[in-house]
Amino acid sequence: MAAHGYDAVSDAPPAEIGEMELPHAHTWVGKYVWSQDAKVIAIQYGITATAIGLVALVLSILIRLQLGFPGAFSLIDPSSYLQHVSMHGMIMVVYLLTALFLGGFGNYLIPLMCGARDMAFPFLNMLSYWIYLLAVLILVASFFVDGGASGAGWTLYPPQAITEGTPGSGLGIVLMLVSLIVFIIGFTMGGLNYIVTVLQLRCRGMTLMRLPLTVWGIFMATVLALLAFPALLVASIMMIFDHLLGTSFFMPTMLTISEQRGHEGGSPLLFQHLFWFFGHPEVYIVALPAFGIVSDLIAVHARRAIFGYRMMVWALVAIGGLSFVVWAHHMYVSGMKPSFGFFFATTTLVIAVPTAIKVYNWILTLWKGNIRLTVPMLFALGFLFTFLNGGLSGLFLGNATVDVPLSDTYFVVGHFHMVMAVAPILVIFGAIYHWFPKMTGRMYNGPLAQVHFWVTFLGTYAIYYPMHFIGLAGVPRRYYAYGETAFVDESVMTLNAGITIAALVVALVQVLFLFNLVWSAFRGKPAGSNPWKATTLEWQTPETPPGHGNWGDELPVVYRWAYDYAVPDAREDYVPQTVPADSGPATVRDEKPLS
Amino acid sequence: MMTVTLIAIVALMATFLTWIVRQTINVQPWEATSTPDDGRGRLPSFLTTPRVGLIVVMAAITSLFALIISAYNGRMMIGSDWVSVDIPAILWGNTLVLVLSSMFLHLAWRASADGDRGAARVRLLLGGASALLFIAGQAVAWMQLRRSGLPLAVNPASAFFVLVTALHVLHLLGGLVAWVRAYARLEGASEPRRAEAGIGLCTIYWHFLLGIWLILFGLLLIT
């Protein structure tokens, strides 16, 4: 068993759940390219998502340069500005956040935390990554085709998206839609693995209620994704039909200089319903894994059992269920019956209840905890602040009457970036720092990571906090330039310039982050197998980084939940999940706490 | 507009959430044990890992078809340009062929369970062949529609007819890939019972797609 602070006593017979045959590769290409090892696939997902995420980051810088210093950069024209906005949004939401949380962390952590050797269907798992890569390449190709990438906004609303005059309305939008279809097919193969592995391949003793909340978060997010992504699939296929075959699912009758164009009678509203039936659960597809991971970061680094574990699980489940009945709050300005608006405003506010339970429980976990301000903990605390702020502005937007004047302003941009861009990204950074020692066997550089945290955390506030005020002043989003617009005060321009400078600084510090990861992976201090003195199974592997199959000859056996920190009468302040209840005082290893 | 989808999603989520709550209620997760207590939360033994995988896939496909039916109803109610399609008569024959396909696969499953390789082989081949015949029949229906009905670009009902039937055929084609694997396993296995699991999965999927088709066919008939 693992070399950790406790010598686990295993008096149980070998695992009763079936051993799986692992496809061991013997060549470098088999091990690292066509790999069927979930951990390698996780890193492949991570590298690809980071690479395409950097493209989206550069696009956001171009957007900010134009907004901060209008017209100063000739390479950004109105068309390319809209293309940058659209591609930035779609890449960040789908190809970075979804792929990294589920494909990246899901693949790495689910088998390890459940005590499994690998995912349930390793071949399909491998296929899911390569199909994801294909989807990314198709999307990237759209930058280079005639007319460029789609500039229809990440929501791809018809009729604009496929109407001549919109940037990328030719091949660009087709490639975007095909890429999304390919992504969904690939995701389904991965998602199938995550769910089945959690349900079927947990090791002995790992009951559902002993699962770490990270696994619960990823599990529920996958359930949502498998039910919600088909809406985007259907919408994409129908829009391709409209564009290429001339059907009129979404395309209404339109006149150009009194002449009717080809389409007739379609409903753009139908697309909006389908899009947001996917789009709102998508918020939780990103948020639920973040909720789960941050729960574990807080418990480990505050040395406290998570407060209200059962409530945390049920809150995840409740949020997942409710997320399917709030989608139309994105469509208040599209026009709907007041009773519908009332219904969706109510469901939106109801979803704040389980969410608030989670926030209170995180705070109560911290209360009187032995808080260690490690870098993962800093990011977890940063998430708490940011998610709370972003969530509170959501209360305004969830209310139909307040939403109408705020709709399509920078208030919305500020809100959703805080709640579903910055907050999850802070969790991703925290999670990377937390599990980096397990993935590489080495420690990251602490001071560089501290700089990364503070500049990112404060910098994102410098970017998004002022946007709320710009939005309240009535400044609309998605505009290339405002020109001589009477209601846009001069101070807005000053704020925009300041936001752009902050964005440049935050973007630059991400280079420092990547440098730290690469440098530390080869030159970092050896971390040992369990540097955080954590209880969960991934820290109890016989090898660090874990080998293919994770557990050596025998699967682990679990006797307790994942949150035995500060246990009374225990020699150490943590007891791993593999230690039986009656094992007596444990052996303590001399490991220095790390920062 | 989204009523059908909501009913399907609520049904799926309710089943799932009820199971989750039953597994997690009245549990004291903080209590450690001296022996591994792993009875709770395990699925019944007949739900093997591949079968659970298949159920997950079928749930996602249910969501897909519920959404397409919602879109169908929504578009039909909104547009004044909807002209009901004269359903090609061949669809009745195709439906019968798909029922037979499902039946042959079910019989093949039973034969493989009984260790009767010869019967399993013949029934499996008949099941696959009738699925291919169904697909060919659907293609004939599309051609008939093209010749007699309004073109896709003019009539949304025609466009939806092609869309829903094509999506169903695509899922059947995916099933045929699994069918080929099941057949190869039956031929390669020293003992027919080793192929039983694969044939069983195909059978469950075929029954599911037959159910989806009957719903789609009913929708096309009544609209």
Q: How do residues A312-368 score in pLDDT, each as one tens digit?
A: 999 999 999 999 999 999 999 988 888 889 999 999 999 999 999 999 999 999 999
**Residue A259 neighbours by CB under 8 Å, 6+ apart:** none
Rounded CA separation A575/A310 (Å): 20
Classify residue A260 by burial, with Cβ atoms within 10 Å: 0-12, 13-18, 19+.
Answer: exposed
Residues of A with Cβ-Cβ distance to B79 under 8 angstroms: 248, 265-267
**In chain A, which residues have pLDDT < 70?**
1-19, 258, 260-261, 584-595
Model confidence over A563-585: pLDDT tens digits? Answer: 999 888 888 889 999 999 877 65
ipTM value of the model? 0.94
Model confidence over A181-195: pLDDT tens digits? Answer: 999 999 999 999 999
Q: What is the pLDDT of residue B40?
A: 63
B9 to A320, A576, B16, B51: CA distances (angstroms): 12, 39, 10, 21
- Mean pLDDT, chain B, whole residue set: 91
Positive or negative, the CA dihedral A71, A72, A77, A82 is negative
Task: Please answer yes or no on whether A273 and B16 come within 8 Å at the CB atom.
Answer: no
Q: Nearest chain B residue to A16 by CA: give it.
A: B38
Residues of B with Cβ-Cβ distance to A558 under 8 angstroms: 36, 38
- For helices A338-350 and A352-366, the axis angle rounded to 10 degrees is 20
Partner residue opposite B12 with nearest CB, options A227, A314, A560: A227
What phi and psi, each to the nearest 5 degrees, are found at residue A3?
A: -90, 85
**How many C-alpha atoms does B151 have within 13 Å on its Cβ side?**
8
Please, are residues A524 and A444 in contact by the beta-carbon 8 Å criterion?
yes
State the best of B1, B13, B22, B73 to mutate against chain A, taking most chain A CBs within 10 Å: B13
Q: Is B178 in the A-facing interface, judged by CB distances under 8 Å? A: no
Q: What is the pLDDT of residue A584?
A: 62
Q: Which of A268, A274, A277, A273 is nearest to A248 (CA)?
A: A268
Rounded CA separation A452/A11 (Å): 45
Q: How far is A400 from chain B (nearest CA, A)?
A: 20
Please, are residues B60 and A188 in contact by the beta-carbon 8 Å criterion?
yes
Residues of A with Cβ-Cβ distance to B32 under 8 angstroms: 559-561, 564, 575, 579-581
Q: What is the pLDDT of residue A194?
A: 97
Q: What is the pLDDT of residue A258?
A: 66
Q: What is the pLDDT of residue A6?
A: 45
Res B209 pLDDT > 90: yes
Residues of B with Cβ-Cβ distance to A535 under 8 angstroms: none
A581, A585, A588, A593: CA torsion to nearest 10: 70
Rounded CA separation A308/A364 (Å): 9
Structure token digits, residue B114: 């009984």
With left for phi above 0 and alpha for psi between -120 and 50, is residue A545 left, alpha or beta? beta
Residues of A with Cβ-Cβ distance to B40 under 8 angstroms: 207-209
- What is the DSSP code string of A408-427? TBHHHHHHHHIIIIIHHHHH
Q: How far is B82 from chain A (nearest CA, A)?
A: 9
Model confidence over B39-91: pLDDT tens digits? Answer: 666 788 888 999 999 999 999 999 999 999 999 999 998 877 888 888 899 99
**What percentage of residues in chain B have a pLDDT greater than 70?**
96
Q: What is the pLDDT of residue A242?
A: 94
Q: Which of residues 45-64 of B touch A (CB under 8 A)?
A: 49, 52-53, 56-57, 59-61, 63-64
Model confidence over B1-47: pLDDT tens digits? Answer: 678 888 888 888 888 888 888 888 888 899 898 888 656 667 888 88
Q: What is the pLDDT of residue A7?
A: 43
